[in-house]
């Protein structure tokens, strides 16, 4: 899984002029993540976008807005379940199999 932490600084780094002043290669990593998303036919299997308290929907990249967003710290429990790959709701067990009987008329 890839956690994408979204903040106003992240948006300015990936949409900025291209210079990487702090040496984190944010724009390059963002492009690689976007390429993987496109190669997976825009199905999100690995990306976990997390909105920090200072961020809002406008800070999320357009291509990532169709995925489930987690807000920190409000969605901490759901985020933990996603990282552990566990379901929030337990599926009830299946009942007995039904038997189909055909009677000729």
| Single pTM value for the model | 0.73
DSSP per-residue codes, 32-90: HHHHHHHHTTT--SSEEEEE-TT--GGGS-GGGTTSPPEETTTTHHHHHHHHHT--SSP
Q: What is the pLDDT of residue 34?
A: 92
For the segment 36-83, what is each residue's pLDDT rounded down to a tens digit?
888 988 888 789 999 999 999 999 988 888 889 999 999 999 999 999
Which residue's entry shows tokens 């308290």? 53
């Amino acid at each position: 899984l890839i956690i994408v932490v979204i903040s106003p600084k992240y948006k300015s780094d990936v949409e900025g002029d291209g210079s990487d002043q702090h040496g984190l290669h944010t724009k390059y990593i963002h492009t690689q993540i976007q390429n993987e998303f496109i190669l997976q036919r825009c199905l999100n299997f690995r990306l976990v976008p997390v909105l920090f308290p200072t961020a809002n929907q406008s800070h999320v990249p357009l291509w990532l807005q169709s995925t489930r967003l987690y807000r920190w710290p409000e969605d901490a429990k759901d985020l933990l379940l996603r990282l552990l790959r566990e379901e929030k709701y337990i599926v009830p067990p299946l009942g007995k199999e039904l038997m189909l009987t055909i009677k000729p008329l």
